A and B are shown apart, each in its own frame.
Chain A
Amino acid sequence: MSKPTADWEKVGDRFYRKTQLYTDVFDQDLELENYVIAGAPYSGAVALYRDEDKLHAYRGTQTAKPTIDIFSCAGKLIRSLNIDKGIVKALGWSEDETLLVVTNDGTVRCYHNLQNDFTPFTLGHGAEEHGVRACRFWLSGFVALLNNNALIAVTRYDEPRPKLLATPPSGDVASWAIIPPAYTLSRSVEVLLATGKTIYVVDASECEDRMLENGPFKHIAVSPNGNFIALYTDDSRVWVISSDFQNRLSEYNSRVKTPPKDMQWCGNNAVVLAWEDEVHMVGPNGAASKYFYDSWVHLIADTDGIRIITNDICEFLQKVPDASEETFRLGSTSPASVLIDAVDLLEKKSPKADDNIQLIRPNLDEAVDTCVKAAGQEYSIHWQKQLLKAASYGKSVLDLFNSDDFVDMCETLRVLNAVRFYEIGLPLSYEQYMRLTPERLIQRLVNRQEYLLALKVSDFLRLPLNKIYVHWARQKVRSSNADEESICKDIVHRLDGKRGISFEEIARAAYDEGRSKLAIELLNNEPRAGKQVPLLLSVGEESLALDKAIESGDTDLVFYVLLHLKKKLTLANFFRTINTRSMATALVEASAAYGDRELLKDLYYQDDRRLDGSNLLLTEALKQSDSQHRNDKLKLASKLLQDSREHTFQVKAIDESQRLLRIQEVFEKDLGESFVGLSVNETIYKLIKSGNIKRSQKVQSEFKVAEKTYWWIRLCALVSRRDWRELEEMSKTRKSPIGWEPFFNEILGAGNAKLASLYIPKCTSLTVPERIEMWIKCGLITKGAEEALKAKDISSLEMLKNKATGNAVHEIERMMAQLAPSRR
């Protein structure tokens, strides 16, 4: 076994290593120099597209149709996408391995999950007229540069909203790059444009000149953590500066006349320059290392390193991780390196192994940790094992040690080794795996249709399996040629008893393939009623969709179906569909009440709901401002109910309301005051208050207002009119249907105690103390006392005496005296 340090190289004071991942990557016939290449983040798939600008040999008609080919890192063709129209201007990947293809007319196609079908959207903002020149992608979005230098940013792909950034100055853009939103101060994407001698920084709201004078810059690259910027100047120098343009960190002179064709970051501390078959890696402080290849080289930058791809090989260039460096560096005396030595000795059955252990005894736990970490960084299975063995040996010596990390690392390495296998072609580094997360790794496997491996890995990592099953079923629906029934049977049989299967997704796949019948059949297995609705609508099963929506209880869904139905069906059919379903009817009524009255009218008519129909006309009558129209509506309302016996009350009331309106209109003409809108009682009140007693009586008899009610109204109206004379007159009446107490209360409440007192003697139904109380309220203590005297109530007299002042006191004493003898 070669030493792990064999492919290390010292650049400055750091070590870098170049790991060969795969050999025989591409067919030798593939002229890599003529292709545009884009690699998905975290060692994902690689997309190749024939560069239209380059000359290529004429090969007959088969090349007439341009395609985008997606390969794994090991060069296995995963899929070939046909591009039927537009000239592809940019290829890019998002974090979840969605391929984005931007054509010159500003159309963006998102190919999800490495599948053939895509969702398109357009950039707008003039992209169509001016044409797209190039795009720069980050993990969840991209920026497009148009030929007129306009910049358009897209920040999400699920609901893309292309946004125009601030307008940069015109002029030739020598090179450009972006800083992803996560790494900028403004939290909006920033674009660095090298124009003329300087660089402009453009974000959503402004465009700022950074006042550099060493341009034009041939290349700009931003480090993965957004902290540094690498610039390639015209005099073939590389500058590394901080991204706030404040500090120049290092400089390197490549001494090559031709500018490199690509410049990328390798992790956050080295910049890689690529010419046709030559690669320079520039470390900190301008130290550099050169590599030479046999054929054309492409660079694919990743978060912790860079992939170098030629026809023959795929390599991963990265800074040697700290743990590995500590363990394997020549002459290292770190505990970890001693520990790995000890294992070596142990295998040779040398007693020195124990000496080694004793040597590092105080730092043993640290050594074990380092070995575990280093194992994660190793690509060679031999060295992984060796390091884990060392860790295992070390921890067996320790008394107390938490082995969780060790166990996790063993699991992780098993997974990593499995996916690094050339047939899978996912050469993930440990750090990339941590960033990718196991769930998304499973998604990637599923996308490559590696179902078995996906299931095994999921099972091994205790992750849910349902998505894998669903994906499998969808793929089956898409590709299987068997007849629909057997497909459905097969799928249902295979997925029987599995938890959390979304049949809706499978059915949708069937529908998208144009297999509607299969879709419906599959949908029957979906347990969630609500989820079935949209698909049922698309396959034209409206009433079933409505039932399912109602079953789900989600009114939004029901509404949604109803809107759909209303557009699609004739009115009669629509009503027929809803009227057996009470919830649907209720919702239609509720929403139509605010808008579509005609619909409501038709509905009531069709269902023969006369009372509702009449009420609807009533509401309309209320809305009319014109008396003629109002009367018409009211007439209609009453006519609708005319024939049915159970609504006689309603009919009578509507007719009465018309009568009232007529009378009120007459009053308005006669008296010049407004009456319309008042109720019967209010009309009477207003008439009395304005002194039209005769008219008020007419209204009373016309509408058969009860005598009691009339008296109350009259009392209140007179009091509010302060018509004391009339009220005094009324006190002379013999009988009142509402008694006399209200008169007392109302008049007293209006402040006329004198008049109120007139009514006290008439309240014969009240008790003596109550009447005394009334006298007191009027301030007539003596009168009260007389009342008490009559009732021979000595205690009330006492109470009154306390309240009385002046003359009244004597008066009461006299009365008490009158009573006194009789007590004896």
Chain B
Amino acid sequence: MAPTATLDASDITEKARRDLLQLLEGVRGKKNLVIEKSLAGPVGLFVKFSTLQEYGVDKVFFLENNNVDSTQRNVVFLARGEKARQVQAIAEQIKRVRRESKQDHEFSIFWVPRRTLVSDQILEETGVLGEVNVVEFPMYFVPLEKTVLSLEMDDAFGDIYLRRDPTAIFLAARALMLLQKSQGLFPRILGKGENAKSLANMLLHMRAEEDIDASSDPSNAHVHSFDLTPSATIDNLIIIDRGVDFPTVLLTQLTYEGLIDETFGIQNNQTEVDSSITGAAPSQPPPQQTSGANSQAPAVQPPASSALKRKILLDSTDKLYTQLRDANFAIVGTLLSRVARRLQSDYDSRHKANQSINELREFVNKLPSYQAEQASLKIHISLADELKKVTNGDLFLRVLEVQQNLAAGADPSTVHEIIEELIARDCPLTTVLRLLCLESSVSGGLRQRDLEHFKRQVLQGYGYQHLLTFAALEKIGLLIPRVSAGAGAYLNPLANPSGAATVTDYNLVRKSLKLFVDDVNESEPNDIAYVFSGYAPLSVRLVQCILQKPYLAQLTNPRTTPALNSQPSTATASGNWKGFEDVLARIKGPTVDEVQKGHNAAASQARKTLQGSGGGQVKTSIVFFLGGVTFAEIAALRYINGQLGEKRRLIVATTGMIKGDTAVGAGVEGRSFKTR
């Protein structure tokens, strides 16, 4: 318990690593590791396969493949225990191995992030509980970057909005609670949206229970004597419910990183592209540290696929990428050529006559970093080239046209023709659905007639099984019929009785928060709107409502500037929604604003004194995206952080990364009527 330390992502990584290795060490001898597919990526972020091998892991299998063999006496399962299916799968594999194998096996299960009652019950019913060693591997947040923490729950969006299963919210609350335990209470919890509200409530609840838990848990009898007091380093927690802001997800991200995600997909900081694009991976292990569970194991992956695909690590270890990732794609070409020229001139400087020995030595010392940069430059040029091909495509431009029109608030019927054309041209279903959902989201639903028209088009174009897709999208609230105010509560599942708005009034919000900026400057951004070349994500605007009040006020209404500027400063005590209540009332879902104080005022005061007066302190705000966050939003938040200066740190936390295709894909019916 070090409440004074600032939140450091590497601590979390280190702890997860240590925990896992310790658990592995607890299983004596060599072992086979069976890992759930969705965990392989996150685990690969902090442990290399070679390290696992040092800890006795012989082979790695994916749980889903159901192919663990009996080559080792010890079999270790690493899986999430929240879903009954997963538990069942493990139980069956244990039974299978036991049946097929001649020798005695030792089974261990590491449940991530906790051992559940349900898992125990299922294991007991299937009769394997008695023979497995069950332990918890409490991995909650996985840092993707220094300022990006993710729970890496791939299904979170579908669970929360489609199936209304709040497990993800509960686990998020657990994860945030752990942060509070190490950092102190978040002095203020702000948020917007139905689920944000329940998350905030859970946090308050857990805090009340924490007292008793701590004291009745024998293992931390020492720790408990500290009462939770408000953190001195963290200023506030801002929870953004994804349900409040669907359009941002549905629009095509136009930052470099966002486009890579849209085009190739980024999983756990890695993208996988055809090797014909970047050239095959070098023969020695590629410069990227490919993640443990993936890089190895012919047992896991057919070797053929690795020959065609190449994994590329995309994170801040790549210096060049750090410069490129948040830039609008329009200027990436320019940036790349600038870097290429600089590298060339640096490299050419070796030819300079009469160099001293020292200069030469310096040059030689820098050589490895030149080479690394050169290699990464090569990769990014080819990636950018490939993206350019996509963005210049006819379809992409058409889609973009529709999106920009809708985002800018043009009459939706003007784009209907283009959408129809896209359907006729058999453009990918998710793309079409994204556009329809976007229209529905920004205009409070589609008119019944239009909706049925498009439904018919889609059903004929892509198959009648998509009746289910539409049912799911309606349940999520992405594609809904427009209803008169009175009936809204019945049909709109996001309706709540608390009197808050049930549907966001986009026309009003667009104006009052200036969600569309016409004169956006992509090469030298002057507003977050650059990430979508015009549209400013609502979610990030909400964050600005708290952190950048004067700026936003000036942006939306230049005349009121002096009044708001007279307020003390940007960083008022711990931030609140003040000044934007009217707009918030027009955005669906309740608004959250809770202040957390310590039981013991004296103790928190003492802690503050110990910290020294807040003057030189870097204040941290955690922005938690419930239901997923896009790379474009992260880029926008990084931009804001740049504007706020050194005194403030924004940390993005989320249930997982998301993009339009995955959001819509949560509803898409995958099967067809094809005869098997």
Contacts and interface: CB of A to CB of B under 8 A. Distances in A.
Contact of A500 (B82, B224, B452, B456): B224
A709 B457 contact: yes
Given A679-B461, A738-B421, A555 B166 contact: yes
A747 B462 CA distance: 24
Main secondary structure of the interface of A (DSSP, over half): helix
A553 B675 contact: no
Interface stretch (B42-50, B114-122, B277-285, B329-337): B114-122
B28 A680 contact: no
A627 interface: yes
A679 B131 CA distance: 51
A658 to B, nearest CB: 9
A649 interface: yes
Interface size class of A (residues with CB under 8 A): 35 or more
B159 interface: yes
Interface stretch (B214-222, B501-509, B621-629): B214-222
B170 interface: yes
Contacts of B471: 611-612, 615
Interface residues of B, number: 68
A679 B673 CA distance: 9
Contact of A439 (B118, B213, B214, B221): B221
A553 B202 contact: yes
A204 B27 CA distance: 12
Nearest to A560: B117
Contacts of A463: 221
Contact of B215 (A466, A530, A679): A466
A677 interface: yes
B84 interface: yes
B674 A676 contact: yes
Nearest to A586: B164
A528 B206 CA distance: 9
B225 interface: yes
A623 to B, nearest CB: 7
A553 B468 contact: no
Nearest to B83: A591
A221 B167 CA distance: 54
Contacts of B674: 676-677
Nearest to A627: B675
Main secondary structure of the interface of B (DSSP, over half): helix
B163 A709 contact: no
Contacts of A462: 225
B675 A674 contact: yes
A554 interface: yes
Interface string A176-200: 0000000000111000000000000
Interface stretch (A41-49, A97-105, A244-252, A700-708): A700-708
Contact of A553 (B28, B173, B224, B460): B173
B468 A618 contact: yes
Contacts of A591: 83-84
B440 to A, nearest CB: 16
Interface string A451-480: 000000000001110110010000000000
A238 interface: no
Nearest to A470: B216
Given A553-B198, A713-B424, A502 B464 contact: no
B394 interface: yes
Give the interface centre of B82, B83, B214, B464 by most chain A CB atoms within 10 Å: B464
Contact of B213 (A528, A618, A653, A680): A528
A466 B672 contact: no
B463 A625 contact: no
A681 B52 CA distance: 51
Contacts of A621: 673
B671 interface: yes
A594 B85 contact: yes
Nearest to B448: A649
Contacts of A439: 221-222
A583 interface: yes
B669 interface: yes
A639 B460 CA distance: 21
Given A560-B117, A622-B671, A712-B425, A586 B163 contact: yes
Contacts of B221: 439, 463-464
B96 to A, nearest CB: 19
B461 A680 contact: yes
Interface string B446-471: 00000010011101111111011001
Given A527-B208, A654-B467, A467 B216 contact: yes
A786 interface: no
A560 B122 CA distance: 10
Contacts of A464: 215, 221, 224-225
B214 A679 contact: no
A630 interface: yes
Contacts of B201: 553
A38 to B, nearest CB: 24
Contacts of B464: 653-654, 656-657, 660, 679
A486 interface: no
A563 interface: yes
A188 B27 CA distance: 11
Contacts, number: 186
A571 interface: no
Contact of B675 (A204, A501, A625): A625
A485 B587 CA distance: 51
B136 interface: no
A677 B669 CA distance: 13
Contacts of B28: 186-188, 204
B455 A716 contact: no
A500 B675 contact: no
A778 interface: no
Given A553-B205, A745-B394, A705 B460 contact: yes
A248 to B, nearest CB: 31
A501 B463 contact: no
Interface string A610-637: 0110010011011101010010000000
B676 interface: yes
A159 B457 CA distance: 60
Given A467-B216, A527-B209, A679 B462 contact: yes
Contacts of B463: 677-679, 682
A618 B467 contact: yes
A499 interface: yes
A556 B82 contact: yes
B211 interface: yes
A530 B208 CA distance: 12
Given A466-B215, A591-B84, A708-B424, A563 B118 contact: yes
A111 interface: no
A95 B165 CA distance: 43
A555 B165 contact: yes
B82 A555 contact: yes
Given A553-B169, A560-B121, A681-B426, A649 B216 contact: no
Interface in A571-628: 582-583, 586-587, 589-591, 593-595, 611-612, 615, 618-619, 621-623, 625, 627
- List 4 tightest A-B contacts by C-beta distance, closest first: A677-B674, A657-B464, A500-B215, A586-B164
Interface of A: 159, 161, 186-188, 204-205, 439, 462-464, 466-467, 470, 499-502, 505, 527-530, 552-557, 559-560, 563, 582-583, 586-587, 589-591, 593-595, 611-612, 615, 618-619, 621-623, 625, 627, 630, 649-650, 653-654, 656-657, 660-661, 674, 676-682, 685, 703, 705-706, 708-709, 712-713, 716, 738, 745
Interface of B: 28-29, 82-85, 114, 116-118, 121, 130-131, 133-134, 159, 163-167, 169-170, 173, 198, 201-202, 205, 208-209, 211-216, 221-222, 224-225, 394, 420-421, 423-426, 452, 455-457, 459-465, 467-468, 471, 669, 671-676
19 contacts: A463-B221, A466-B216, A467-B216, A470-B216, A502-B216, A553-B169, A553-B198, A554-B170, A611-B471, A623-B671, A649-B455, A653-B464, A654-B464, A657-B673, A660-B464, A677-B463, A681-B426, A681-B460, A709-B457
